[in-house]
Amino acid sequence: MAAQAQVKKKKAAKKDKKILVIVESPAKAKTIEKYLGPDYSVKASMGHLIDLPKSRTAIDVDNDFEPEYITVRGRAKVLKELQGDAKKSDKVLLASDNDREGEAIAWHLQNAIHAKSEQVPIQRISFNEITPQAIKDAVASPRSIDDAKVNAQKARRVLDRLVGYNLSPLLWKKVKNGLSAGRVQSVALRLICEREKEVESFIPDEYWTLEADFKVGRSVYTAQLVSWRSNKPELKNEAAVQDIIDKIKNAECFVSEVRETDKSVRPKPPFTTSQLQQTAANRLGFTSRKTMQVAQQLYEGVNIGNARVGIITYMRTDSVRISRTALDEVREWLGKNYPNDFPEKAIEYSVGKKAQDAHEAIRPTYTSYTPDSIKEYLSKDQLRLYTLIWERFVSSQMNNAKTRTVSVDIKVVSGEDEGIFRVAGTKVIEKGFYKVLKLLTSKEDKGNPYPLLKQGDKVNVEKFYPEQHFTQGPPRYTDATIVRILEEKGIGRPSTYAPIISVLLDRYYVTRSNKQLVPTILGKMINDILVEYFPHYIDAGFTAAMETKLDEVEESHVRWPDMIREFWTPFKARVDEVGKTVESFKGSLDEPTDYTCEKCGKPLVKKLGRFGFFLACSGFPDCRNAKSIPLAKCPKCGGDVVARKNKGRGKEFYGCTNYPNCDFLSHFKPINQNCPKCGHFMVEKYDKKNGAHKACINPSCDYLHSVEEDSGE
């Protein structure tokens, strides 16, 4: 009887065994578990469980750069639970993301599980979308772990560790404790700092434009002067514009030419990661980090009625390729909803030369899930981002749109003087792919009315509109434009664009101002040092070449230790040389001031901290008094204007130290310069008309920093 009971117990235990699926996030686990049924158990690793220690370099440079991995602090419990679950399972399927990081996570898990339960069979599954069919197909086609992909991740991790853990201590020793440098983000910082120098050195030039109202019958058209005396008009000042107005205000005016131009507008390909980040920044005002966070939610799964489903494909990709199944589905949907607006054959977009093409483009998993049909299940941000993705994908498989532009030239003749004013209108004559665009539509797509004029029509000039402008300097980088330049230069990969920006912001090397990325004093200082002593290693071309070598490791064309060795030998020699020959800057950044500590009477010293310069007592550590540096004199009471922050949103503004007795406040940062017109302090402003420029804080003063004043100083 006892023997029979034992057999029954063993059979019951065997029956209870399940297949363990390990994914990265709980949200993904929740979605996948609904698809696989009772024979599967789905658990989350919560990302990396095993990695390099933070406290030391942990790379054996004398033994083929072998990394020393440990269980990540605070993650031992999760790892132990997964090892225990694996031991009780028939089989383990590792389902982390299908990229280098995901492959490395799977490799570490496999090693950790086999260390405790050597006999448990472990396989790898991967998928591009989290839908019932995609998951079932993945489970039906398991594979081994891709060692080449693991090696590429290992090489990148080792490379970043060797750079960061050698440059950072050098900065501590020579400049200031707590500073850090990284392989890729230092290049991005260099790009931002170089652009900032261009912005700061730019001096705007004044120029004018001239528009006029022309009346024919009851209709009035506003046209712009495009030609004067057969040349492009050069209107450098108000006098030049007024001279033309005086000559033509009573002139004979007639329509000299009417041109009609048709244009075919092609739809854009579906999104890659960088294009999604750029479009979300421009259209929705999302940061790169926010775009990826919301996209991750859409990918991992949302509840649509009673079903939980991932509604977009994997969001880290550099390819515009679309699967045949997805193309068939979208064409079937278009056939039902827009039967006359899609071509006979599916449109294929060429994949860029630099693209790894490991994943499809970002697209909706089901075309039938239109934004309107599922909006009640999504948050506001989820719906807006999903709408961009859905519209871009569906429109990419539709016919071209066609526009017609009618351009009218109005000739103004006064004696020997002759000018041309031009007015144009554009209309969409065949909507094509524009029919599905709502959130992605633009003013250009909507068009504007044609001028209803014909050649020979006589018109009367009614009113002139002279307008002053200033040339705009190069714009600072935004999330969208820095991502674009990183992609163009081959720096980083789809998974790293958002983290690069985040690291620079978190370290306070860069701040955001009007959605622009502005280097801090600390960021500029770090960049200057790295550019002076390590120009080769933080060069965009060099960094792009390293990315290409990592791709070659993944393609098994290069052994990763050989690639690291080629980099390490000259790099380490340069670090050692700088460490020995360059004098320490420590203390040299401290500047004596005329300010006195109100607590102990000792002089205050200007110091550089993590968040910029501040005033600290020279009696430290006996006296720990510290305060903000005065940026300007208050125009109301003569007190000091300093930088302040709101408690809630943490937004910086500039106010008087005599608050609440003085309520002076400015949202514009004072600069170390007084207005030559009225003596008030100057501030840095930004608007769409003038871009970034310097102006007087005094609202009754119209001084604007220009080339004439600058050259006269």
- For 437-460, what is the mean pLDDT? 83
What does the longest C-alpha to C-alpha distance in the chain come to?
123
pLDDT digits (tens, 9 = 90+) for 473-489: 899 999 999 999 999 99
**Tokens 């120009």 belong to which residue?**
535
Cβ–Cβ < 8 Å for 435, 341: yes
pLDDT > 70 in the chain, percent = 91
Predicted local confidence at residue 611, as pLDDT: 65
CA distance 20 to 88: 9
pLDDT digits (tens, 9 = 90+) for 68-100: 999 999 999 999 999 999 999 999 999 999 889
Which is more confident, 645 or 226? 226
Phi, psi of 548 (to 5 degrees): -65, -40
Fold held by 273-395: Topoisomerase I; domain 4 (1.10.290)
**At residue 257, does pLDDT exceed 90?**
yes
Mean pLDDT, all residues of the chain: 87
CA distance 704 to 696: 7
pLDDT digits (tens, 9 = 90+) for 9-56: 444 444 466 899 999 989 899 899 889 989 999 999 988 999 999 999
Cβ–Cβ < 8 Å for 381, 294: yes
Tokens of residue 219, six digits: 């209709």
Phi, psi of 340 (to 5 degrees): -100, 10
Intra-chain end-to-end CA distance of the chain, in Å: 107
Q: Where are the beta strands (DSSP E) in 240-392?
A: 252-265, 302-304, 307-309
Which residues are bridge partners to 686 per DSSP? 692
pLDDT interval class at 1 (50, 70, 90): very low
Class of domain 154-202+475-581: mainly alpha
Class of domain 12-145: alpha beta
DSSP secondary structure of 234-256: ---SHHHHHHHHHHHTT-EEEEE
pLDDT digits (tens, 9 = 90+) for 341-399: 999 999 988 876 666 656 899 999 999 999 999 999 999 999 999 999 999 999 999 99
pLDDT interval class at 7 (50, 70, 90): very low
pLDDT digits (tens, 9 = 90+) for 179-230: 788 899 999 999 999 999 999 898 888 999 999 999 998 889 999 999 999 9
pLDDT interval class at 172 (50, 70, 90): confident
**At residue 665, does pLDDT exceed 50?**
yes
| Residue 440 DSSP class | T
Predicted local confidence at residue 463, as pLDDT: 93
Predicted local confidence at residue 691, as pLDDT: 62
Tokens of residue 216, six digits: 């024919």
CATH code 3.40.50.140 region(s) in the chain: 12-145
Nearest to 691 by CA among 348, 198, 221: 198
CA distance 541 to 550: 14
Nearest to 129 by CA among 32, 1, 222: 32
Predicted local confidence at residue 704, as pLDDT: 60
Lowest mean pLDDT across 583-587, 598-602, 670-674: 583-587
CA distance 307 to 301: 10
Contact residues for 478 (Cβ-Cβ < 8 A; gap 6+): 281, 515, 516, 517
Tokens of residue 202, six digits: 């730019």
Q: pTM for the whole thing? A: 0.82
CA distance 425 to 420: 17
What is the CA 612 to chain-centroid distance, rounded?
24
Nearest to 526 by CA among 275, 192, 213: 192
Which residues are bridge partners to 640 per DSSP? 633
Predicted local confidence at residue 361, as pLDDT: 94
- For 411-422, what is the mean pLDDT? 91
Nearest to 227 by CA among 248, 246, 204: 248
Which residues are bridge partners to 641 per DSSP? 632, 656
Cβ–Cβ < 8 Å for 52, 164: no
pLDDT digits (tens, 9 = 90+) for 315-337: 999 889 999 999 999 999 999 99
pLDDT digits (tens, 9 = 90+) for 597-632: 888 888 888 887 766 678 888 888 888 888 877 878
Going 241 to 245 to 248 to 254, the CA torsion angle's sign is positive
Predicted local confidence at residue 103, as pLDDT: 95
CATH architecture for the domain at 206-266+401-470: Distorted Sandwich (2.70)
Q: Where are the beta strands (DSSP E) in 144-295?
A: 206-216, 219-228, 252-265
- For 503-510, what is the mean pLDDT? 89
Predicted local confidence at residue 712, as pLDDT: 31
Catalytic residues: 314
| Residue 628 DSSP class | P
Question: Which amino acid makes up residue 311?
Answer: I
**At residue 450, does pLDDT exceed 90?**
no
- For 440-464, what is the mean pLDDT? 84
CATH code 2.70.20.10 region(s) in the chain: 206-266+401-470
Nearest to 334 by CA among 283, 385, 427, 267: 267
Cβ–Cβ < 8 Å for 351, 360: no
- Within 10 angstroms of residue 276's Cβ, the number of other Cβ atoms is 27
pLDDT interval class at 150 (50, 70, 90): very high
**At residue 6, does pLDDT exceed 60?**
no
